[in-house]
Structure 1
Amino acid sequence: MRYLPSSPVEDRALLDTIGVPNAEALLAGIPEPLRLRRELDLPPTGSEQEVFGQMLDLANTNTRFCAQFLGAGAYDHYVPSAIDALCSRQEWFTAYTPYQPEISQGTLQHIFEYQTLICDLTGLEVTNASLYDGGTSCVEAALMAVRVQKKRHTVLVSRGLHPLYRQVLETNFAPHDGLKLVEVGLKDGVTDMADLQAKLNDDVAAVMVGYPNFLGAAEDLTALAGPIHAAGALLVSVTQEAFAFGWFEAPGKAGADMACGEAMSLGNKPNFGGPFLGFLAVKDAHKREIPGRVVGQTKDLEGRTGYVLTLTAREQHIRRDKATSNICSNQGLVALRANIFMQLAGPEGLRGLAEQNAAKAQYLRARLLELPDMEAVPEVPFFNEFVLRYKGDYAALQEACLKEKMLPGLDLGRFYPEYKGCILWCATELHTRQTIESLVEILARVPATV
């Protein structure tokens, strides 16, 4: 059933029960100037079939891309149909807020499994039940680093971090009294080691570095960890494409003290920009400062395995002024899908998918560089995204691609003035050789620069 019908008699009974004369009285809290004093401009009443047809017509006005070469934080991957089937099972239809473990074992178990898998991917010991998105996870990691480091108040942020994540940090971290956010520049597409060392001091609590960074480049966490740890700071890796964990060394094993970022790629579609799935994993020594919920495994009085919220009391989510964090929820459904995806894929499956992404990106880059208007920038190791300089008109390139229902890469000049004229291209396992060749043919027809 798509709606819950009620008769006039039932409506009247509801209003009488709560003690109001009519439905309009429920709007008393809304200021008069803000109220709409007319009927909604909706089509005439129709049957369910007619309304469904109208909604389908509206949906068909959206552009359905046959291929997307745009990544930049939201990636199009194949999602097995088994995920839709499994995540709709009744075991997960328990209380939204799992404070009562006796009625929430399904929800608590899948969160515990999700946490276990994120720890496996990141090489760290403790993770939480998920956060809203990658940007939110960056804020929580930065605030947590300051709490852990106590008398340190500065967080260094690599310019290679996702620009939108940096904006979220500027909005939600920097305004706190006494806290400072300082940018570290790039050199040849990766964090500038000289600039980093120049800005490391006794007030730096942590350094946040993309892994891979927004330009697709693979940062050398091991090399960065040396001077960062020598200065007494923490290294925080930020991953916006979770498939990279199947290709790169786990950040915890490469020197990172915390790992955060976006895990939407695991079993979820980008849709129209969400929902997303922020993750945050830390070393065991820092677990008492981790924000949000953490699910633990235990035994009941009869020795049976059970799952409960642990480390933080319920009051943490109610007394906002006393809370470690005001993040008091988690992306339950999105995390469930990620859990199912990781268990279906397994370590070998995720590694195989990552290899496909890397191979497709290498092939795409090689074919694009055969075009006269494409130029290489300083080459660094990358995963499934890379930067090329385009000597032509990006607007013309974009128009040509959209006409063929293809979404081209990102114009980097929007976020990085120093990369004006450059395009960030992305390839995933969904890009076949035929799709890549079609893109090359389209771009070859774009008028060359004069």
Structure 2
Amino acid sequence: MLKREKSNALFERAKKYIPGGVNSPVRAFRAVGGDPIFIKSAKGAYLYDEDGNSYIDMINSWGPMILGHAPEVVQKAVMDAVPHSMSYGAPSAKEAEMAELIVSMVPSVEKVRMVNSGTEATMSAIRLARGFTGRNKMIKFEGCYHGHGDSFLIAAGSGVMTLGTPDSPGVTQGVANDTLTAPYNNLEAVQQLVDTNKGQIAAIILEPVVGNMGCVLPKPGFLQGLRSICDAEGIVLIIDEVMTGFRLAKGGAQEVFGVKADITTMGKIIGGGMPVGAYGGKKEIMDFVSPAGPVYQAGTLSGNPIAMSAGLAMLHYLNDHAESVYGQLNATGNALVTGIQSSLKKHGLNYTINHMGSMYSLFFTSSEVVDFETAKTSDTVLFGKYFRAMLEKGVYLAPSQFESLFLSTALGQKEVEHILQASDASLAEIMK
């Protein structure tokens, strides 16, 4: 059994002063049972907790640690930047360099605005789409998470034609009325919403590969179909690449699938682990952002010099070593998925694995998982048992069935073998 004394004591202490004892809900382990572990440090492929236990990290801070924890190239950039001050609140050369680099790497982006988080990026993108089009409504997809902005915390009604209802106290019905929800991978449902709300929809926003109902891939033609609908109806297509940007390819999911957004939201990797986000797109749309245009958005810490230094080091590395980085990530993902599938078959378990590059999810269901409804057919109790068994064997999975895993280049052959052995043993245990 893992030692837990210090983590347990810290959790009890944190609960006195932090809501639920954590600063983001999924960290509480409520979806998988037990209490969270408190991390003391991380390096390469490993996390180290306050009790001295080590774990192979399979979520990598929910995506940004694509080179593993504390890579030297990013560490050096941060250490070199620190003596020059933590924040300026004024323009710096690094902001311009970052913008130029992003534009060179993402085909659909002509101008970009830096912010401080993925949530800020998506909130700003929706406001910009509304300001640019003069329309109020938006379409999002069930199970796609775009941060905790009010417009995104909406659950679907009983059918795809129903207006949304607030999914969190504090979200007003007025906001919900402007948010239309459709099943992911369902172009017909989107077209029905567009036809019913003719000339009222400002934007369609989606994750191109979903990471927040587990990893769910777009069906062939889905993204292209959305692009066609948006072109025909004057709707702004927002592709949320906070998770997939610079992870699936140096040009993100848009490079992989050959589709271009009007606005792209980014985060995670572009800060090299520091808090950062960005949104960018067509020049004529981005020039609606203040001070060039009338849509107001600001932030004292936007373009923070430490975050820019970390992000520049990360993106330059990915850009310069794209073939080796993405080749290794794809190979690691293929090896893990193939090995885990073999064990699942051996133990006679119902399962579906969705996988693309360095993202994958294991669902304990025999159903094909293509949207939120099919994702919810997964046996979450069984997943909780699997999570706890893997944790005991030194493998840190996402503490929720409905979160993708994110791999890093720090995972070598030794780590892959350990993960596969731990998975096989864990599956055997939960079948007893």
Q: TM-score range by the shorter chain?
A: 0.5 to 0.7
RMSD: 3.5
Q: CA deviation at 1:221?
A: 3.0
Matches for 1:342-381 after TM superposition, within 5 Å: 342-343=315-316, 345=317, 347-371=319-343, 372=347, 374-377=349-352
Aligned residue for 1:229?
A: 231
Partner SS, residue 157 of structure 1:
strand
> Which one of 318, 341, 344 corresponds to residue 314 of structure 2?
341
Q: Tell me, yes or no, if structure 1 residue 209 matches structure 2 residue 198.
A: no
Q: Tell me, yes or no, if structure 1 residue 89 matches structure 2 residue 80.
A: yes
Quick one: structure 1 residues 131 and 174, their matched pair in 2 at CA, closer, same or farther if it must change by over 3 Å? farther
Partner SS, residue 386 of structure 1:
strand
For residues 86-133 of structure 1, the C-alpha deviation after alignment (integer angstroms, 9 at most, x for no partner) is 33336972683454xxxxxxx6111101011111232210001x2121
Say which structure, 1 or 2, has more relative contact order (CA 8 Å, 6+ apart).
Answer: 2
Quick one: structure 1 residues 95 and 368, their matched pair in 2 at CA, closer, same or farther if it must change by over 3 Å? closer
Matched AA of 2:415: T
Contact 1:252–1:258 at 8 Å: present in 2 too?
Answer: no
Quick one: structure 1 residues 90 and 238, their matched pair in 2 at CA, closer, same or farther if it must change by over 3 Å? closer
Quick one: structure 1 residues 62 and 94, their matched pair in 2 at CA, closer, same or farther if it must change by over 3 Å? same
Contact 2:128–2:295 at 8 Å: present in 1 too?
Answer: no
Q: CA deviation at 1:165?
A: 4.9
Partner SS, residue 227 of structure 1:
helix
> Which one of 130, 138, 146 corresponds to residue 146 of structure 1?
130
CA distance in 2, matches of 1:251, 1:258: 17
Quick one: structure 1 residues 244 and 173, their matched pair in 2 at CA, closer, same or farther if it must change by over 3 Å? farther
Q: CA deviation at 1:330?
A: 0.7
5+ unaligned residues in a row in structure 2: which ranges? 1-39, 42-47, 154-167, 365-378
5+ unaligned residues in a row in structure 1: which ranges? 1-54, 100-106, 270-274, 292-309, 313-321, 416-422
Q: CA deviation at 1:437?
A: 2.1
Q: CA deviation at 1:141?
A: 0.5
Matched AA of 1:204: I
CA distance in 2, matches of 1:224, 1:72: 30
Contact 1:127–1:282 at 8 Å: present in 2 too?
Answer: yes
Q: CA deviation at 1:84?
A: 2.3
Matched AA of 1:112: A
> Which one of 265, 269, 288 corresponds to residue 265 of structure 1?
269
Aligned residue for 1:433?
A: 413
Matches for 1:20-419 after TM superposition, within 5 Å: 61=50, 65-70=54-59, 73-78=62-67, 79-89=70-80, 93=84, 96-99=87-90, 108-123=92-107, 124-128=109-113, 130-150=114-134, 152-162=135-145, 164-165=147-148, 169-170=152-153, 180-186=178-184, 191-200=185-194, 201-214=198-211, 215-219=214-218, 220-239=222-241, 240-242=243-245, 243-246=247-250, 248-250=253-255, 254-262=259-267, 264-266=268-270, 268-269=272-273, 275-290=274-289, 311=292, 324-332=296-304, 333-343=306-316, 345=317, 347-371=319-343, 372=347, 374-377=349-352, 382-390=356-364, 393-412=382-401
Contact 2:270–2:315 at 8 Å: present in 1 too?
Answer: yes
Matched AA of 1:241: T
For residues 251-280 of structure 1, the C-alpha deviation after alignment (integer angstroms, 9 at most, x for no partner) is 996231000032x324634xxxxx432110
Q: CA deviation at 1:281?
A: 0.6
Partner SS, residue 115 of structure 2:
coil
CA distance in 1, matches of 2:175, 2:254: 36
CA distance in 1, matches of 2:130, 2:406: 34
Quick one: structure 1 residues 424 and 323, their matched pair in 2 at CA, closer, same or farther if it must change by over 3 Å? closer
TM-score, normalised to structure 2, is 0.67
CA distance in 1, matches of 2:176, 2:142: 22
Matched AA of 1:405: G
Q: CA deviation at 1:374?
A: 4.9
Quick one: structure 1 residues 351 and 64, their matched pair in 2 at CA, closer, same or farther if it must change by over 3 Å? farther
Q: CA deviation at 1:241?
A: 3.5
Q: CA deviation at 1:148?
A: 0.4
Q: CA deviation at 1:195?
A: 1.4
Contact 2:146–2:240 at 8 Å: present in 1 too?
Answer: no
Which protein is bigger by CA-based radius of gyration? Answer: 1
Partner SS, residue 387 of structure 1:
strand
Q: CA deviation at 1:237?
A: 0.5
CA distance in 1, matches of 2:382, 2:182: 31
Q: CA deviation at 1:209?
A: 1.2
Matched AA of 1:443: S
For residues 140-194 of structure 1, the C-alpha deviation after alignment (integer angstroms, 9 at most, x for no partner) is 10111000001x11111122523645767338997777971222212xxxx3212
Alignment size in residue pairs: 337
Q: CA deviation at 1:426?
A: 3.5
